[in-house]
Structure 1
Amino acid sequence: MDGSAKISVTAGDIEFELEGTPTEIEEMLTHLRQDDTWEIMMTRLNAAKIDSSDSSTSGSESSTDVNRGASFRNLIETCALKRKPDQVLGALHYLRDVEGIMDSPPRVINQLFDDAGIESPGNLSLYLNRLREREFLIIPEGSEDKNRFAILSTEGKAHIEKRSSR
């Protein structure tokens, strides 16, 4: 053997293939983890894992809520998001990047927490405004400066990634 290794991962439309020595691959993985693509890929893989384990459930709306709640709870646990502000950040990431929901009034975010069996944040506006002050959230232009359209900034994504690597 020549001491080389190869890693291939496909998650939906995201693919990567790494070849080289174990040290080179470790270095490439370190760089990959700093990219948004890694976070999106891990979220998709976790969601796929949950979907496959729950595939025996019926297609009713209540089982969809259970699957949705389980997926969100898994994200919270996988990323070790224990504090409520971090969980709110995780909820926005989940809604935007996993479900593709770009308009999320407070009732949508609170319902996600309820579906996961996690206590909803009390004053959601307070959490969102504090996350904006910390520059973890941004409001896209043309969104009338409303929190319901907030998306994670690069700093917000890095914060979740940092929490998940602890």
Structure 2
Amino acid sequence: MRHDDTWSIVLERLRDARDAAIDAAIDAARDVGLPERGSAFRALVETCSLNKKPDQVLAAIHYLRDVESVTDSPPRVVNQLFSDAGIEPPGNLSLYLNRLKERGLLMVPLEYGDKNRYSILTSAGKAHLDKQSTS
């Protein structure tokens, strides 16, 4: 950066440097064999023998919240995780989420009203996944 650069030029250079750093970090992660998003989720589902779609949806919400720290996950985000993993996405995600809430495995924090995209696992939901993975 030079003293006579305009604000826009400086911002552009900072964006370019940031993008280059992100690309380098992604390349480095691939080089050392860190799992990609889809393969990590698929390995989790397979290792824990989660064959039923409701269990997979519950696992996807848990994965997004705890592994990726995603708090807002509209249906396209959940479906993309399934697609990235090579697992058939749930047909009617809202139906699955509502049934999981009815069973007490998911809840939506009060500050988000009744928006399923902010669902989190209850302690019963976590216990259910633990039980499913050991049976």
Pick the TM interval, shorter chain. 0.7 to 0.9
State the Cα distance separating 1:55 from its structure 2 match: 3.7
More strand by share: 1
Measured in 2, the distance between the counterparts of 1:155 and 1:140 equals 15
Ranked by relative contact order (alpha carbons within 8 Å, sequence separation 6 or more), the top structure is 2
Residue aligning to 1:88:
57
State the Cα distance separating 1:118 from its structure 2 match: 0.3
Q: Aligned letter for 1:78?
A: T
Q: Aligned letter for 1:86?
A: D
Q: Give the unaligned 5+ runs of structure 2.
A: 1-28
Provide runs of 4+ in structure 1 moved above 4 Å.
Answer: none
Residue aligning to 1:104:
73
Residue aligning to 1:9:
none
Residue aligning to 1:79:
48
Q: Give the unaligned 5+ runs of structure 1.
A: 1-53, 59-63
RMSD: 1.8
The answer to whether the aligner puts 1:122 opposite 2:97 as a matched pair is no
State the Cα distance separating 1:57 from its structure 2 match: 7.1
- 1:34-93 per-position Cα deviation (integer Å, ceiling 9, x unaligned): xxxxxxxxxxxxxxxxxxxx74279xxxxx9x7100000011012111000000000000
The answer to whether the aligner puts 1:153 opposite 2:122 as a matched pair is yes
Measured in 2, the distance between the counterparts of 1:154 and 1:78 equals 21
Q: How many residues align?
A: 107
Measured in 1, the distance between the counterparts of 2:63 and 2:84 equals 13
- The normalised TM-score by structure 2 is 0.75
